[in-house]
Chains A and B, each alone.
Chain A
Amino acid sequence: MSTTIESPDLLTVDDLVVEYPGKGMFGRPFRVLHDVCVRIAPGETLGLVGESGSGKTTLGRAVLGLAPVTAGRITFLGKDISHAGRRQRQQLSQHLQVVFQDPYTSLNPAMTVGDILSEPLGIQGITGADARRRVQELLDRVHLPVDAMSRLPREFSGGQRQRIAIARALALRPQLIVCDEPVSALDLTTQARVLDLLLEIQQGTGVSYLFVSHDLDVVRHISHRVAVMHRGRIVEQGEALKVTQTPDHPYTQRLLLASPVPDPDRQAERRSARQAHAASQESAA
């Protein structure tokens, strides 16, 4: 993995601040992200882990241009995209794509799968037989039958819908896909299938992922490096195994000790370790 890190970064986020305007005319703006710095190399997965309200999703949305950048800089492929306009976004969409958490609302229920997949192609001027061929390739890539093209999203299970969303993200052969909790809404075995697919795609295409999740185990499994977010700040960042198995920051330690393991005796150990950790944190504070 160390070779990928030496190559120039695909995405760098420097001192990013995101604020949402406050309620009412004189409401104070609400700061969601405080001075966040991350970078992703080509072919690398950065796992972004945190609990609800930590700002992890907002970071992904800021990279995609769906959240307002108040201060700081987002550089992608050597260009500053912090305040990219519609035209620049349209060019960016070839290289930067997204898979959302909820496969039920991320696909327009009124459009066929074929139309959903060819929409990004059409924007880049790929139409007709070319688009059709590409859509078939994409369905094949995510292991869905070709007849899926003429069907509506509601005819598919949650896991299949998430694969359609992945296929849409892959349509333009992007270099970075922001995956916002892509497996959180899925069952255990479906989650395993989608993770397998994401890894297989990365090995085949060399795409990078910004992988946002609340689940430390998921992030450990799929990431090269992991960043831990807590209350809008990155509290720890480093090699995936280091951060997820022997973390330095007390919050990451707390997160790790709170994730249950599927064995009663090891879980009992982890539980007492967590209670001891909580007690030591309390006495330190």
Chain B
Amino acid sequence: MTEVTPNVAQSAGQAGVVVRASTWHRLVRNPMGLTALVILGVIVLIAVLAPLVAPGDPNFADIGNVLAGPGGGSWLGTDSAGRDIASRLVYGAQVTLLSAALAAAVAIAIGLPAGLLAGYYGGTFDGLANWTTNILLALPSMVVLLAVRAAIGPSTWIAMVVFGVLLSPGYYRLTRTAVQSVRNELYVDAARVSGLSDGRIIARHIFSVVRAPIIIQTAMVCGVAISIQSALEFLGLGDPMVPTWGVMVADGFRNIYRAPLTLVWPSAAIAVTIAAFVLLGNALRDSLEDLEKVKEKRARPVGPAARRAVPPVAVESGTEHHLLKVTGLGIGYPQPGGGRKTVVDGVSFHVDRNEVLGIVGESGSGKTQTAFAILGLLPDNAIVTGGAIQFDGVYTVAPDDDHVHQDRLAPLRGKRISYIPQEPMSNLDPAFTVGSQLTRPMVRILGITKAAARDRALNLLASVGIPEPQRTYDAYPHEISGGMAQRVLIAGAISCEPDLIIADEPTTALDVTVQAEVLDVLRELQSRLGLGIVVVTHNFGVVADICDRVVVMQNGRLVEEGPVRAILRSPQDPYTKVLLASMLENKPPMTPLLTEEKLSPLLTEDELVQAEESLELTT
């Protein structure tokens, strides 16, 4: 829900107005929205100006001229009592629109405040309100409306008030869910700390989240209210003295064989109005909620031609012995307005067997993009703008490829190249036990039996330092801690005896004490199995702990490469110097870390914003 809020800004201040105007703009530019608006506008205008527009009195009965066809004295003919259909349609619009507005207003008046209070405070009120809405939802609305009419008498307005009450649970639930999603946002906490009263917190910070869904819901509810109201009239439960579309349908239905057209006019009016409300609801949703998605509609550079098998290309001789070699790699993304945004540019490095390479950089440096290119896990719209990647003497991305060929990487991934992700918990499927997630790839890739895979999995769990392998094997991911989950993922990464592991910030989500243990496990496995490892990290402590060589990246470019001691002790590039100066270990406390001359190689603030935007674009 939080993504929605920037687009519906209406808070005081200039930007709010601008955003609102653009919402309106998007609505009008949508052909569906414009059509619906025009239709509703015309109907509202007709209803308001009924006395001027209507050709005659809607209730004047000309008994001598019943069921007349169109033309003659009346445009659309007359009904069974000789009343002018056109006039009745025009006046009927008044009643129909007002009744829809009344039902929606009553539903909002009950549902919105109740939802705000229940969502914000929770507790007893929330419990009571939930019981009430559940009971209301369980009531069959038509039966209730019939009972009300029997008790109180025929009145369109009372029926609509009751119907509004029956519709209020929809608003209540919508509001409550939206409020709950922001109730614990930090900006609401900050407002509480500022001493803002609850009323003002709700008005300023919470209501803005609810507004968009309420507007959309209301457009839909108006359509429903019209159909229910017409249905009641059709059943003959309306006020016979009031001209409405529903009464006209009922009259037309009775005379369907004698004058079928008398049924067509009011039915068409009802259908067009309801359709306009529903279309308006859809268009509103598009313009209010789906703004962010526009950015994601990007050209897919991968055409059907890409599906053809690609012939292997021989790598440059003399480089076959490198386990992994990345040469001049560039990665870009198409921009919504055309053009490309380069996120990795001319990056070259290599990893040998039994070696740990660290890729260090800050957000937006392109380090994760580089790792994903090696794994072939870049999003579909990513373009390899240049360079090549070779693994064990074979190109996975050949020099003139413009994207990663999955058929080259699929046989390698999981078997020879494996991956340790940053967030252990989100990388385990909560629906399966740890054991089944570990054994399935082994059965598939190594071709061993389930029983053999099970023994192997238990051994692996023991080897990554899990004290009770059997218990963890049988556990579901939510039953184990973050540190244990990361060990499970490491066990999975080594389960098929890979040659290369790509570890993307493998310890960032962990506490330091757990980080130290996980690094111990990785180091021990690496030296025992002779693995090549690429560790993507921003932490120089992790680099010092486990890496043999380091590459430093900034803003998509590689700025420095070398053995770990050289880089950490005598960095040459000014950016590496700033990064190391930002480390706090061994610094005199309470002294400034970054002096003016140190700041110069850093990105400016605007470049930082751009870097973060490109990060959002790629994730």
Contact = CB atoms under 8 A, between A and B. Distances in A.
Interface of A: 51-52, 64-66, 86, 89-93, 96-98, 100-102, 105-112, 114-115, 119-120, 123, 150-152, 154-160, 165, 168, 187-193, 195-196, 199-200, 214-218, 220-223, 240-241, 254-255, 257-267, 271, 274-275
B541 A112 contact: no
Interface in B299-321: none
14 contacts: A64-B193, A90-B197, A101-B186, A107-B187, A108-B205, A112-B14, A157-B609, A157-B611, A165-B190, A187-B538, A189-B362, A189-B578, A192-B582, A262-B568
B142 interface: no
B296 interface: no
Nearest to A143: B605
Contacts of B271: none
A35 B362 CA distance: 40
A218 B195 contact: no
Given A90-B195, A109-B5, A221-B590, A52 B511 contact: yes
A111 B193 contact: no
Interface string B511-536: 11101100110000000000000000
A222 B16 CA distance: 39
Contacts of B590: 199, 221-222
A258 B516 contact: yes
Nearest to B602: A189
B474 interface: no
B187 A108 contact: yes
Nearest to A254: B513
Contact of A91 (B15, B195, B196): B195
B53 interface: no
A190 B608 CA distance: 10
Interface in B566-580: 568-569, 578-580
Contacts of A241: 589
Nearest to A99: B190
B512 A259 contact: yes
B581 interface: yes
B189 A66 contact: yes
A18 to B, nearest CB: 16
Nearest to B588: A221
Nearest to B594: A192
Nearest to B209: A110
Contacts of B520: 271, 275
A195 B14 CA distance: 33
Contact of B193 (A65, A215, A264): A65
B593 interface: yes
A100 B189 contact: yes
B15 A218 contact: no
A110 B196 CA distance: 17
Contacts of B9: 110-111, 152
B148 interface: no
Q: Which 5 A-B pairs have the closest CB atoms?
A: A260-B541, A90-B195, A262-B540, A106-B186, A192-B582
Contacts of B592: 196, 199-200
B193 A158 contact: no
Contact of B582 (A52, A90, A189): A189
Query: Chain B interface: which size bin?
Result: 35 or more
Given A110-B208, A154-B6, A260-B542, 10 more contacts: A89-B192, A110-B5, A112-B15, A152-B9, A157-B608, A189-B362, A195-B584, A196-B593, A217-B583, A241-B589
Interface of B: 2, 5-6, 8-16, 185-187, 189-198, 204-205, 208, 362-363, 511-513, 515-516, 519-520, 538-545, 564-565, 568-569, 578-587, 589-594, 602, 605, 608-609, 611-612
A240 B589 contact: yes
A93 B197 CA distance: 12
A163 to B, nearest CB: 10
Contact of B516 (A123, A168, A190, A274): A274
Contact of A267 (B8, B541, B579): B541
B568 A264 contact: yes
A100 B511 contact: no
Contacts of B14: 112, 150
Contacts of B363: 158, 187
A191 B8 CA distance: 32
Given A258-B512, A263-B544, A221 B589 contact: yes
Given A109-B2, A258-B513, A260-B516, A221 B13 contact: no
A86 B193 CA distance: 10
A91 B611 CA distance: 41
A261 B544 contact: yes
Contacts, number: 213
In this complex, the member of B189, B195, B564 whose beta carbon has the largest number of chain A beta carbons within 10 angstroms is B195
Nearest to B3: A109
In this complex, the member of B10, B194, B581 whose beta carbon has the largest number of chain A beta carbons within 10 angstroms is B194
A83 B325 CA distance: 63
A188 B362 contact: yes
A155 B194 contact: no
A253 B609 CA distance: 39
B532 to A, nearest CB: 18
Nearest to B589: A221
Given A66-B189, A196-B592, A255-B512, A262 B6 contact: no
A105 B11 contact: no
Contacts of A66: 189, 192-193
B190 A98 contact: yes
A268 to B, nearest CB: 8
Given A187-B362, A192-B593, A260-B516, A110 B16 contact: yes
A179 to B, nearest CB: 13
A114 B13 contact: yes
Nearest to A92: B195
Contacts of A86: 195, 197-198
A106 B185 CA distance: 7
Given A106-B187, A155-B609, A196-B592, A263 B513 contact: no
Contacts of A102: 186
Contacts of B585: 217, 259, 261-262
A262 B16 contact: no
A51 B586 CA distance: 22
B545 A260 contact: yes
A185 B430 CA distance: 26
A54 to B, nearest CB: 9
B580 A262 contact: yes
Contacts of A199: 590-592
Nearest to B185: A105
B6 A255 contact: no
B1 to A, nearest CB: 11
Nearest to A110: B9
A3 B11 CA distance: 47
A93 B192 CA distance: 9
B452 to A, nearest CB: 34
B41 to A, nearest CB: 29
Nearest to B563: A264
B554 to A, nearest CB: 10
Contacts of B612: 157-158
Nearest to B211: A110
Nearest to A187: B362
Contacts of B6: 109-110, 152, 154
Contacts of B11: 110-112, 115
Given A65-B192, A187-B363, A222-B590, A105 B564 contact: no
A187 B602 CA distance: 12
A110 B13 CA distance: 10
Contacts of B593: 192, 195-196, 221
A138 B564 CA distance: 42
B2 A120 contact: no
